[in-house]
Structure 1
Amino acid sequence: MSDGHLHSFQEQVNDLLLRHRSFLDVTSKYQESSSRVNRALTKAVTECGCIKIKADKQSYPKDAPREEWKDYFKTHLSGQLCDHCQDIVKTEMGKNLFYLTALCNLLQISLTDVIQQESNHLSTLGVFNLR
């Protein structure tokens, strides 16, 4: 997505956010939307079963070079979201992005700047920014 698309999306959110324009409303809706993303993913596991989680301790050889760590760490996921679950997860992620963008608007922060700043941060710190 280009900077222009992000800016247009941010303007669209600004134009459409009417009922919950209060900072308190937006922050609570952002938190709620994050929970709904988590709930949709949980339901994909527990109700649909299209994805499965098998988790255990993440381990790697202590003498392995850092470049190889990705080969040892697992996502703990197997399977793939079915079309139905993917639609729901994407919808909930979209709502979460809407409220994140609304927060940016209320605080007069450019969503493009947020993304660019994080990208710069990741590029600058590189491997020291392991998350």
Structure 2
Amino acid sequence: MKDVIFDDFQNAVDESLLRHKSIIDIMTKFQESNGRINRAIAKSVTNCGCIKVNAVKQYFPTGKEDMDIKDLKKYLKSHVDGKLCDNCRDILEREIGNNLFYLTSLCNILNLNLFDIILKEYDKMNTLGKYTFR
């Protein structure tokens, strides 16, 4: 069922894309949409203030050879304090949706199936386990 949703989305994107049909247009629109996501996050911090970035050096404990990789997660931080307000959440969802549109457009123009790509990445994560951490 999930592959049908992805395929339907990919087909709808293909039918919707008219003005920016060139791969050059799609690449630059995809890059622009990435920038708009970053800008929306920055405005959530600097304009709205619903979230705050508290970035410091990540702490990696040393000398604990018996520590499991799962234990390491409790030491690593996202550096985000707070929670997105409804307005900032709506803006970010819209920008991420736009980004997905252009990502899917790239898949379409290059004859790639988005669902298959997600499955391959998911399988890689499951197969490699902790060695796929990025």
TM-score range, shorter chain: over 0.9
For 1:11 and 1:88, the matched residues in 2 are separated by: 25
Give the alignment partner of residue 76 of structure 1, picking from 69, 75, 79: 79
Matches within 5 A, 1:54-93: 54-62=54-62, 63=64, 64-93=67-96
After TM superposition, the runs of 4+ consecutive aligned structure 1 residues lying more than 4 A away are: none
Question: What is the Cα deviation at residue 20 of structure 1?
Answer: 0.1
Q: Write out per-residue CA displacement over residues 39-76 of structure 1, whole angstroms, 9 at most, x where no aligned residue.
A: 00000000000000101111132213222001110111
Unaligned ranges ≥5, structure 2: none
What is the identity percentage for the equivalent residue pairs of Structure 1 and Structure 2?
47
Question: What is the Cα deviation at residue 19 of structure 1?
Answer: 0.2
> TM-score normalized by structure 1?
0.97
The amino acid across from 2:110 in the alignment is L
Matched positions, count: 131
For 1:124 and 1:16, the matched residues in 2 are separated by: 36
> TM-score normalized by structure 2?
0.95
